[in-house]
């Protein structure tokens, strides 16, 4: 049992040790960030303050503290049995209660975090000045108290989600990398993207950060929050990546936050916060967050200062973000065509983009499931609908062509467009841009009389139509026999599937009235091929056709759309 003179001697030694400057820090603070240094509690245990909370709640005022204790000794050491108290600037003392989750002992060379809290029935605003560890001896009369150490905390006090940083250094400009010293000084984050997306739950602002591990060890990205704020409201952000993220030395990865602020124009800034918790018992836990610093929003100049979309060169490999998780490096993707189709029933146009995917590896690879989005000159975005692809695997060194259709207003000319390729799976239902480029509807150019249905080139040598009495005399009394002599060639060695756009031929009389039509596939049975194609059309009209229209047709969610390629006489 400890004797009184030993206790007094220990106190003297401890107080003397406080006069010696501490050579080690729990974390190296960035300039302007007040991270408290370590103070000795006894011969082997040192303390540093991680966070201080002072916020108004329904019950009054909640005061919380999270401290870090480090055991510098060579053996297991019990957490010192001291009272932890905070003192306000007007001298009022409050003793904090320890969390039920707090450890009671510290392993050698280990650092642990301990949480303390109290809720007091006080509604007036006040500030905290210091936190203290006090040794209380209940077994002497009168009871004795000895303050072991006091640490100033006014500079790190956090007053809740609506708090405002008074220090101008606690604000990070957009586009510059930052660290969160209370979590890690070797993990760096850079804001790279701020966009708006609509969801079934309403519009969301999506923030993208590029995380980099600058250490020589594998690191886990810690949990932290980013909130949006306006002049009157705070919007709690949610990290979209749910699984733990580990970064190797020098490795990078994007992380994303969804902020329910509606339009990003409604935001005035962002706040980076670190999560804390306090357990009142084994069943009840209080969660809260401590603000670390503000993050500025990009102004118009900064938003436009990033990588501007380049003009796309047809049939060239698209440059994807090297960190994307959708397009494997062995797969080359290029856009070979972008054409504007008219809806059959009217009311809209449909842009059809054809992409060529090539597997440059020596093994089969799955067809990447990316999303495509077109943006008009006024900033309006149109999400593409992917064809119902039959092919799921890309054969080595074989190219596959697939298309996306975009329903556009009838007024869209298609001469100033931006194409965005999106990752719609990593943080579904949200989408992440992985490539962006400028483009336009591809003009039709042919050096000969051939017709382009990329990747097919069709040359019509001749055609003729004959009319007969049909078999169904009452409903369709006339039957037309159409014969087309054509040559079909592949522009490149690529494959298509049964979902590919089709060729439609249409017989027209001299007044422009449609006599009949037939749709032909480029894949499957009875597909278009070199030679004479013969087809029958039933009609109620008895006319001599002098025109043949040839279309490319696609299916869209709003119905069929077609592009007139040629009118033959």
Identify whether the C-beta of residue 502 lies closer than 8 Å to the C-beta of residue 521: yes
CA 332/CA 435 separation, integer angstroms: 13
The C-alpha atoms of residue 93 and residue 159 are separated, in whole angstroms, by: 18
Q: Is the dihedral of CA 30, 35, 37, 38 positive or negative?
A: negative
467/481 Cα distance (integer angstroms): 6
Lowest mean pLDDT among 7-11, 75-79, 315-319: 7-11
Q: Which tens digit of pLDDT belongs to each residue from 140-163?
A: 888 899 999 999 999 999 999 889
Measuring CA to CA, how many Å separate 184 from each of 87, 187, 238? 29, 6, 20
On the CB side of 311, CA atoms within 13 Å amount to: 5
pLDDT mean across residues, the chain: 87
According to the model, what pLDDT value does residue 306 have? 57
Closest CA to 548 of 514, 501, 521: 514
Q: For residue 81, give every residue at least 6 positions away whose Cβ sits within 8 Å of its Cβ, in sequence order, or none.
A: none
- Do the strands 111-120 and 105-106 form a parallel or antiparallel pair, or are they unpaired? unpaired
Give the β-pairing of 393-394 and 365-366: antiparallel
**Both structure tokens of 217:** 């060890």
Place of tokens 């206790």: 7
Over the stretch 439-477, which tens digit does the pLDDT of each residue have? Answer: 999 877 655 678 989 899 999 999 988 877 655 555 556
Answer yes or no: are the C-beta atoms of 152 and 92 closer than 8 Å. no
What is the total residue count of the chain?
A: 569
114 or 389: which leads in pLDDT: 114
Q: Cα dihedral sign for 134, 138, 139, 143?
A: positive
Span 371-395, mean pLDDT?
A: 90
Dihedral angle over CA of 20, 24, 27, 28, nearest 10: 90
Token pair of 102 as six digits: 């707090």
| Opening angle at CA 36, ends 34 and 40, nearest 5 | 170
pLDDT tens per residue across span 322-371: 999 999 999 999 999 999 998 887 789 999 999 999 999 999 999 999 99
User: How far apart (Å, rounded) are the C-alpha atoms in residues 260 and 237?
Assistant: 7
Task: Give tens-digit pLDDT for 470-498.
Answer: 555 555 567 788 899 999 998 888 989 88
Residue (of 198, 203, 207) closest to 262 by Cα position: 203
Do you find a cis peptide bond into 467, omega within 30 degrees of 0? no
| Structural domains for the chain | 4-158 (2.60.40), 168-299 (2.60.40.1240), 310-439 (2.60.40), 451-568 (2.60.40)
Question: Which of 192-227 are b and which e, b meaning 16 or more Cβ less than 10 Å from the residue's Cβ?
Answer: ebbbeeeeeeeebbbbbbbbbbeeeeebebeebbbb
Cβ neighbours of residue 378 closer than 8 Å, sequence gap 6 or more: none
Q: Return the number of other C-beta atoms located less than 10 Å from residue 299's C-beta.
A: 11
Average pLDDT over residues 413-434: 94
- Structure confidence at residue 545 as a pLDDT band (50, 70, 90): low
Average pLDDT over residues 538-557: 80
Mean pLDDT computed over 48-61 = 96
Q: How far apart are CA 497 and CA 391, in angstroms?
A: 7
Look up tokens 């001749």; give the residue: 462
pLDDT over threshold 60, residue 35: no
Residue 122 and residue 21: Cα distance in Å, rounded?
A: 37
Note whether 96 and 116 are within 8 A (CB).
yes
**Nearest residue to 479 via CA among 494, 493, 492, 469:** 469
Locate the DSSP E strands across 27-176. Answer: 39-40, 45-57, 60-71, 77-78, 83-88, 93-95, 97-98, 105-106, 111-120, 128-137, 144-152, 157-158, 171-172
Report the predicted TM-score, pTM, of the whole model to 2 decimal places: 0.82
> Could you tell me the two tokens for 274?
């670190």
Query: DSSP assignment of 248-260, as one string?
Result: -TT-EEEEEEEE-
């Amino acid at each position: 049992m400890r004797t009184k003179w030993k206790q007094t001697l220990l106190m003297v030694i401890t107080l003397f040790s406080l006069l010696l400057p501490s050579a080690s820090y729990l974390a190296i603070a960035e300039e302007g960030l007040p991270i408290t240094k370590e103070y000795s509690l006894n011969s082997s245990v040192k303390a540093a303050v991680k966070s201080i909370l002072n916020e108004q709640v329904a019950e009054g005022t909640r005061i919380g503290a999270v401290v870090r204790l480090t055991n510098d000794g060579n053996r297991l050491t019990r957490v010192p049995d001291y009272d932890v108290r905070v003192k306000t600037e007007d001298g009022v003392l409050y003793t904090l209660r320890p969390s039920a989750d707090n450890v009671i002992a510290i392993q050698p060379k280990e650092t642990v975090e301990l949480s303390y809290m109290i809720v007091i029935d006080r509604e007036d605003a006040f500030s905290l000045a210091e936190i203290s560890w006090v040794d209380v001896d209940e077994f002497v009369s009168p009871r004795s108290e000895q303050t072991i150490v006091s640490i100033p905390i006014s500079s790190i006090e956090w007053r809740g989600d609506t708090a405002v940083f008074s220090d101008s250094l606690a604000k990070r400009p957009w586009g510059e990398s930052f660290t969160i010293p209370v979590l890690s000084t070797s993990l760096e984050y850079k804001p790279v993207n701020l966009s708006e997306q609509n969801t079934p739950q309403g519009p969301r602002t999506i923030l993208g950060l590029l995380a980099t591990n600058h250490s020589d060890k594998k690191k886990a990205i810690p949990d932290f929050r980013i909130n949006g704020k306006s002049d009157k409201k705070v919007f709690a952000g949610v990290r979209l990546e749910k699984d733990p993220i580990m970064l190797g030395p020098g490795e990078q990865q994007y992380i994303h936050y969804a902020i329910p602020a509606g339009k990003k124009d409604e935001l005035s800034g962002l706040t980076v916060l670190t999560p804390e918790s306090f357990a009142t018992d084994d069943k009840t836990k209080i969660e809260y967050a401590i603000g670390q610093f503000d993050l500025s929003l990009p102004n118009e100049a900064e938003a436009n200062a990033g990588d501007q979309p380049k003009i796309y060169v047809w049939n060239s490999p698209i440059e994807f973000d090297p960190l994307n998780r959708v397009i494997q490096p062995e797969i080359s993707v290029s856009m070979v065509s972008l054409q504007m189709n008219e809806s059959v029933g009217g009311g809209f146009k449909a842009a059809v983009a054809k992409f060529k995917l090539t597997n440059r590896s020596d093994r089969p690879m799955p067809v990447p499931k990316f999303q495509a989005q077109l943006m008009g000159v006024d900033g309006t975005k149109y999400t593409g609908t992917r064809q119902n692809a039959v092919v799921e695997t890309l054969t080595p060194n074989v190219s596959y062509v697939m298309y996306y259709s975009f329903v556009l207003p009838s007024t869209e000319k298609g001469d100033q467009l931006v194409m965005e390729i999106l990752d719609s799976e990593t943080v579904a239902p949200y989408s992440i841009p992985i490539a962006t480029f400028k483009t336009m509807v591809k003009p039709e150019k042919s050096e000969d009389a051939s017709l382009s249905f990329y990747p097919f080139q069709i040359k019509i040598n001749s055609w003729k139509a004959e009319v007969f009495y049909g078999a169904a005399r009452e409903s369709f009394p006339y039957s037309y026999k159409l014969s087309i002599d054509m040559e079909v060639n592949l522009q490149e060695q690529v494959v298509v599937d049964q979902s590919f756009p089709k060729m439609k031929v249409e017989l027209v009389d001299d007044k422009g009235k449609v006599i009949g039509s037939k749709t032909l596939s480029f894949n499957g049975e009875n597909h278009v091929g070199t030679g004479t194609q013969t087809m029958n059309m039933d009609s109620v009209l008895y006319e001599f056709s002098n025109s043949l229209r040839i279309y490319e047709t696609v299916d869209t969610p709003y119905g069929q759309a077609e592009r007139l390629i040629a009118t033959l006489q």
